[in-house]
A and B are shown apart, each in its own frame.
Chain A
Amino acid sequence: MEADRKVKLVLGFGDQRREIEVNVPAEDPIPWDATTKFSVVGTAAPRADGVAKVTGRAKYTHDMNLPGMLYGGFVRCPVAKATINGIDWSAAQAHPGVKAIHDFKVKQTRYAHQHLIAIAAESRQALEQAIALVKVDYKALPHAARFEQAMVDGAPQVHANRPNIEAYSPSGREKAVQEAMQSADKVVEATCTTQVQNHCSLESHGIVAHWEGEQLKIWASTQATFGVRRDLADAMNVDEANVQVICEYMGGGFGSKFGAGYPGLAAANLAKLSGRPVKVMLDRREEMTDVGNRPDSVQTMKLGVSKDGALGAYKVDIVGTPGVGRGAGARNPMIYAFEDRLVARTERAVATNAGAQQAFRAPGHPQGSFALETILDLAAEAIGMDPLEFRIKNDPHPTRKAQYKDGGARIGWKNRKPNGSEAGRFRRGFGVASAVWYQIGQPQGAEVLCRILRDGSVQMRNGSQDIGTGTRTLMQIIGAEELGLSLDRVVPFIGDTRDPIGPGSGGSVTAPTVAPAARQAAYLAGKELRAVVAKAMGASADDLAFSQGQVVHQKDATKSMAFADACKLIDQGEISALGKRSKNFQAFEGTVGGVQFAEVEVDCDYGIVRLKKVVALQDAGIIINRRQAESQLNGGVIQGISYALFEERVMDRQLGQMVNADMEMYKIAGAVDMPEIESVLYDVSNGGNTTGTAGIAEPTMIPTAAAIAGAVHNALGVRVTSLPMTPDRVLAALAQKEKGK
């Protein structure tokens, strides 16, 4: 066994460099750092599956059609709360084409459109007819579908065993914060509200289940293939070894697709009962009402600030509703990034008769960011300081410090006028907000298999999934980089649990978890190949390296040979190596930084916010694929704009249904609503793992709404404290300003 090595690495970016010494385990290659010269890493590589996707050759779960396949769907209860006395499905069972019925055995429903039973039928049409034939005997009960309905005294209790309002343990320090406020030069206060946001993945939740004896084969639209495997093995009482989950392509998850869920349980059970493959794909209303959302929030804040712009004590009370789920905390972590803050925090979750919350791209952060950046802007305004200067003064993060200045120049911050100094119908404004994220990958979270074949082609294999972030291409790039090959020689495989383990795609974890394992796999396979070649040419393996499709003899170039020729020397037909994930080591910063700027024009006649430009700057560690990292950044901004201006779940106070459970009245930003987006990636040699990769899927969406709100504030001279910033809310803020004059 070879020994570990101690190596010095140069971390950082631009003129901010730092040298660290790390211990590299024998099985790992020397970590990439600021001195590494790359050939394909960091280029704008096309997606490995781009052509398959745009030509329709890529088969999503929704596209799966197996011989004899049945269609599964759900009978649901239309009211927000009910006791289920009985369900008569005899007519449905007798309906032509109906093959199986699975009962979820629900006795009490707690939100509108909760699933009761699942039916499988020969066709979608027979399924819909059968669903209509089921008679549900239910007694509707008083409900609290809306936040304000659940908060009042004597409100209908959502859960039988606990009150609607659940308080989390407060941070304490109330008294110290109060005292500190008294000595502050200025104290600003605000209450911000944010809406419930739905995930709206383009591909809805769905699973195709197919039993072959004891073997369960699953196609799932999921962000956790191995999570689905575990869920279904547990639920169906079979060995995980007998469950195969396939997700070669999937149309988005954003946090809502971690497990098999009830659609998966329905498909597996209906398939078992009928002896036929069963496909369950949710329709849009089901997607909107019964698979999760981002909780809303009411955040009441108080912040002390000194005349020179130093932040003082901070007090925040957070209330949000997880529906029938648990936990609705808004996170505003930026305040912790500001050093030595004195913070008092109280938090409550309010249960409502509405679908349960689920993880959603940076859970808690966009809502927390909107509120926190609001109070920061108000503090800057109160002491007459430029809000950008205010942040530069208070934010210690090295990357963000650089991004504030860089982004300010790019958006044209110098053209920013004092708040509210614009007049007339169309008013311009500029805003800024920031993000923090933490992800450099899970130790032991992934294994990648690298196979070098006799013909010189290479496979990189991992069983997790590419939820759209480009994990498949990432493995291809890393394999190519490590083995000195062009991308077309490396074929990546992802999305089949018969391949090695990988993480669920949550917390922006996938890239920084898979990348180092992929690199180790290619490194170890390459090492074996070097040994084979060294033996054949009578050289030392240590003198051999991979570069530009060659196995290069570093001391005697005449001995170099083509990679493909080298592979012909592999006696056993192929070399394969399993790359594992070593522990993380010291990183440049514990967190990655992001800053976004927005320029808006507000139509004050109509209260319409139009975006002119967004500049998004994001620290992404060492960038593996520039094209997809930029795409990730653009996507975060687009979703952030949509959250800022349009998206909102509307719950009816009468029957308690979501009344806009479609893509028409649940409004999502479209192409015409998009401004110019300038996405600026910060290549930061991050350390932390052997590829220096950091996850960025989530932070890119966090600060967008807050930056837009800041720009609207600047344009109007009044803060819109409620999301989304629709005409009614913008006009209300303007009217309030008029009243205050």
Chain B
Amino acid sequence: MKNFDYARPQDVQSAAAALGKAKGSRPKGGGTDLITLMKSGVLTPPLVVDLASIPGLSGVSRLETGHFRVGATTTIAEVAEHPELARVARVLTDAAATTATPLVRNRGTVGGNLCQRPRCWYFRNLDYVCSKKGGQTCYAAEGENKYHAIFENVTCNIVHPSNLAPALWALDATIHVAGPTGEKSIPVADFWVRPEEDISTENVLEAGEVITGVSFAPEGASTGSAYHEVREKQSYDWALVNAAVRLDFEGEVVKEARIVVSAVAPIPLRLEACEKILKGQKFSDALAEAAGKAASGGATPLRDNAYKVHLIEKCVKNTILDAARRAKVRSGEPR
């Protein structure tokens, strides 16, 4: 690991100022991803700014608007085990509970989960000067690509690694950011950056900017939400595909639907085509099936990951069914 400076500022403004000074400096939440990347030499920040000691950056609170706010350094475990969040944002607590291992959940933070770097084994290997690291080639395109993208995989075949991201998008959350120029709020839908726009990053944060928290409206009484993650191992693994679904019902009719998938493209994807199939319709298993089928529309799988096309269809279908179960529109226990 390269030598680096380390700062523990006591407020967000100092953190932003410190980060803005030296190019390539990195904020640190739990550090579970950052330290790994530094060890492998993929990241060599001159300065690491630890956000952990900033008061007020951690915890779940209710705002005057009635919205919930989750601080950036709130641990994944805290979110997973938060009883009130489980009532008003089940899709989020499900996603949090699914994350990694108890050890990582106890250390990893909400902000860090959103900003972690892709798990692509070419990106994480210093010997592969891939396009994301400033080279000319995406090695995944012709190489070993069973875990790579099946959508929007033209320039770069990474998949977005955050599992809280689709859940927060399903909640139409807002991401709060502080930086050298002050604070701003970004709808989660606008947070992501496609490789074609800037291959070196996955989100819109500029140097010196840090996430301070996320906020979202609580689910209503006639809303059901669910998060599913398909992975090889049930203990500590990365998603092959995942889906976050929020359904607002009027009786048995789907009034509003949010379907967001990830681990299938360089950024999380909202599937409006699937939402359209559900919206305004009386809920049925056949409807869920049809929406699931639509989830794979436009897929461009690589040599070794065509199975993910099948997985995303099934995953979306099953997550829709569970969201409907949560809203008591369909019987049975969510699985």
Q: Do A and B come from one complex?
A: yes
User: Which of these, B101, B127, B311, B315, contacts A78 with CB under 8 Å?
Assistant: B127
A608 in contact with B235 given A652-B144, A653-B143 (CB within 8 Å): no
State whether B233 touches A727 (Cβ < 8 A): no
With both beta carbons as reference points, the residue of chain A lying nearest to B240 in the complex is identified as A727
Kindly list chain B residues whose C-beta atoms are within 8 Å of the C-beta of A672. 233-235
Kindly list chain B residues whose C-beta atoms are within 8 Å of the C-beta of A645. 232-233
- B304, CB-defined interface residue at 8 Å: yes
In residues 628-659 of chain A, which contact B (Cβ within 8 Å)?
645-646, 650-655, 657, 659
In residues 573-610 of chain A, which contact B (Cβ within 8 Å)?
605-608, 610
With both beta carbons as reference points, the residue of chain B lying nearest to A667 in the complex is identified as B233
State whether A670 touches B143 (Cβ < 8 A): no
User: Which of these, B125, B142, B236, contacts A659 with CB under 8 Å?
Assistant: B125
Interface string of B114-143 (1 = CB under 8 A from A): 000001011001011000000000010011
Given contacts A726-B232, A732-B307, 6 further A-B contacts (CB under 8 A): A606-B314, A607-B311, A659-B121, A665-B119, A673-B234, A727-B307
Interface string of B60-104 (1 = CB under 8 A from A): 000000000000000000000000000000000000000001000
State whether B119 touches A727 (Cβ < 8 A): no
* Most chain B beta-carbon contacts within 10 A, residue among A125, A651, A670: A670
Kindly list chain A residues whose C-beta atoms are within 8 Å of the C-beta of B1. 125, 128
A672 to B99, alpha carbons, bound, how many Å?
A: 13
A78 to B125, alpha carbons, bound, how many Å?
A: 11
State whether B233 touches A646 (Cβ < 8 A): yes
A664 to B127, alpha carbons, bound, how many Å?
A: 18
State whether B119 touches A605 (Cβ < 8 A): no
Kindly list chain B residues whose C-beta atoms are within 8 Å of the C-beta of A659. 121-122, 125, 143-144
A659 to B305, alpha carbons, bound, how many Å?
A: 16
With both beta carbons as reference points, the residue of chain B lying nearest to A605 in the complex is identified as B314
Interface footprint category on A: 20 to 34
State whether A667 touches B307 (Cβ < 8 A): no
- B230, CB-defined interface residue at 8 Å: yes
- B212, CB-defined interface residue at 8 Å: no
A547 to B307, alpha carbons, bound, how many Å?
A: 66
* Most chain A beta-carbon contacts within 10 A, residue among B125, B311, B314, B317: B125
- B310, CB-defined interface residue at 8 Å: yes
Kindly list chain A residues whose C-beta atoms are within 8 Å of the C-beta of B146. 728
Number of interface residues of B (CB under 8 A): 32
In residues 224-282 of chain B, which contact A (Cβ within 8 Å)?
230, 232-237, 240
- B113, CB-defined interface residue at 8 Å: no
- Give the secondary structure class of B's interface: loop
- A10, CB-defined interface residue at 8 Å: no
A607 to B1, alpha carbons, bound, how many Å?
A: 39
Interface string of A660-672 (1 = CB under 8 A from B): 1000110101111
State whether A669 touches B311 (Cβ < 8 A): no
- B109, CB-defined interface residue at 8 Å: no
Kindly list chain A residues whose C-beta atoms are within 8 Å of the C-beta of B144. 650-653, 659
A128 to B235, alpha carbons, bound, how many Å?
A: 33
A660 to B125, alpha carbons, bound, how many Å?
A: 10
A141 to B289, alpha carbons, bound, how many Å?
A: 51
- A136, CB-defined interface residue at 8 Å: no
Task: Identify 9 residue pairs between A and B in the complex whose beta-carbon atoms are under 8 Å apart, listed by A's number.
Answer: A125-B3, A605-B314, A608-B232, A652-B122, A657-B128, A667-B233, A672-B234, A727-B232, A731-B310
Interface string of B128-172 (1 = CB under 8 A from A): 100000000001001110110000000000000000000000000
A669 to B231, alpha carbons, bound, how many Å?
A: 12
- B215, CB-defined interface residue at 8 Å: no
A653 to B1, alpha carbons, bound, how many Å?
A: 28
State whether B315 touches A728 (Cβ < 8 A): no
A605 to B101, alpha carbons, bound, how many Å?
A: 25
| Min CB gap A568→B, angstroms | 54
A652 in contact with B139 given A665-B121, A667-B232 (CB within 8 Å): yes
| Min CB gap A80→B, angstroms | 11
- In the complex, the number of residue pairs spanning A and B with C-beta atoms less than 8 Å apart equals 81
- B174, CB-defined interface residue at 8 Å: no
- B58, CB-defined interface residue at 8 Å: no
State whether B234 touches A655 (Cβ < 8 A): no
State whether B234 touches A610 (Cβ < 8 A): yes
User: Which of these, B142, B230, B235, contacts A606 with CB under 8 Å?
Assistant: B230
| Min CB gap B148→A, angstroms | 11
Kindly list chain B residues whose C-beta atoms are within 8 Å of the C-beta of A655. 127-128, 139
- B25, CB-defined interface residue at 8 Å: no
With both beta carbons as reference points, the residue of chain A lying nearest to B36 in the complex is identified as A664
Instruction: List the 8 closest A-B pairs by CB distance, nearest first.
Output: A670-B235, A672-B235, A605-B314, A728-B307, A659-B121, A78-B127, A672-B234, A606-B230
With both beta carbons as reference points, the residue of chain B lying nearest to A653 in the complex is identified as B143
User: Which of these, B127, B232, B235, B310, contacts A657 with CB under 8 Å?
Assistant: B127
State whether A606 touches B127 (Cβ < 8 A): no
- B318, CB-defined interface residue at 8 Å: yes
Kindly list chain A residues whose C-beta atoms are within 8 Å of the C-beta of B232. 608, 645-646, 667, 726-727
User: Which of these, B121, B230, B304, B305, contacts A608 with CB under 8 Å?
Assistant: B230
State whether B235 touches A669 (Cβ < 8 A): yes
A645 to B240, alpha carbons, bound, how many Å?
A: 15
State whether B311 touches A727 (Cβ < 8 A): yes
State whether A670 touches B121 (Cβ < 8 A): no
| Min CB gap B286→A, angstroms | 16
Kindly list chain B residues whose C-beta atoms are within 8 Å of the C-beta of A660. 121
A670 in contact with B122 given A654-B139, A659-B144 (CB within 8 Å): no
With both beta carbons as reference points, the residue of chain B lying nearest to A657 in the complex is identified as B127
A654 to B144, alpha carbons, bound, how many Å?
A: 9
A731 to B309, alpha carbons, bound, how many Å?
A: 11
State whether B127 touches A673 (Cβ < 8 A): no
| Min CB gap B154→A, angstroms | 19
Kindly list chain B residues whose C-beta atoms are within 8 Å of the C-beta of A606. 230, 311, 314-315
With both beta carbons as reference points, the residue of chain B lying nearest to A664 in the complex is identified as B119
User: Which of these, B128, B307, B317, contacts A607 with CB under 8 Å?
Assistant: B307
| Min CB gap A133→B, angstroms | 13
Kindly list chain A residues whose C-beta atoms are within 8 Å of the C-beta of B304. 728
A450 to B189, alpha carbons, bound, how many Å?
A: 74
| Min CB gap A480→B, angstroms | 39
A285 to B245, alpha carbons, bound, how many Å?
A: 39
| Min CB gap B35→A, angstroms | 13
Interface string of A94-137 (1 = CB under 8 A from B): 00000000000000000000000000000001001000000000
A657 to B122, alpha carbons, bound, how many Å?
A: 10
| Min CB gap B240→A, angstroms | 7
With both beta carbons as reference points, the residue of chain A lying nearest to B139 in the complex is identified as A654
With both beta carbons as reference points, the residue of chain B lying nearest to A124 in the complex is identified as B1
A667 to B119, alpha carbons, bound, how many Å?
A: 14
Kindly list chain A residues whose C-beta atoms are within 8 Å of the C-beta of B314. 605-606
Kindly list chain B residues whose C-beta atoms are within 8 Å of the C-beta of A727. 230, 232, 240, 307, 311
A605 to B321, alpha carbons, bound, how many Å?
A: 14
| Min CB gap B17→A, angstroms | 29
State whether B318 touches A605 (Cβ < 8 A): yes
Kindly list chain A residues whose C-beta atoms are within 8 Å of the C-beta of B230. 606, 608, 727
A626 to B128, alpha carbons, bound, how many Å?
A: 50
Kindly list chain A residues whose C-beta atoms are within 8 Å of the C-beta of B311. 606-607, 727, 731
A78 to B41, alpha carbons, bound, how many Å?
A: 15
Interface string of A682-718 (1 = CB under 8 A from B): 0000000000000000000000000000000000000
User: Which of these, B235, B236, B307, contacts A731 with CB under 8 Å?
Assistant: B307
Interface string of B301-335 (1 = CB under 8 A from A): 00011010011001101100000000000000000
In residues 491-524 of chain A, which contact B (Cβ within 8 Å)?
none
Kindly list chain A residues whose C-beta atoms are within 8 Å of the C-beta of B310. 731
With both beta carbons as reference points, the residue of chain A lying nearest to B307 in the complex is identified as A728
A605 to B240, alpha carbons, bound, how many Å?
A: 13
A663 to B170, alpha carbons, bound, how many Å?
A: 32
Kindly list chain A residues whose C-beta atoms are within 8 Å of the C-beta of B235. 669-673
| Min CB gap A119→B, angstroms | 17
* Most chain A beta-carbon contacts within 10 A, residue among B119, B139, B304: B139
Kindly list chain B residues whose C-beta atoms are within 8 Å of the C-beta of A128. 1
Kindly list chain A residues whose C-beta atoms are within 8 Å of the C-beta of B307. 607, 727-728, 731-732
Kindly list chain B residues whose C-beta atoms are within 8 Å of the C-beta of A671. 235
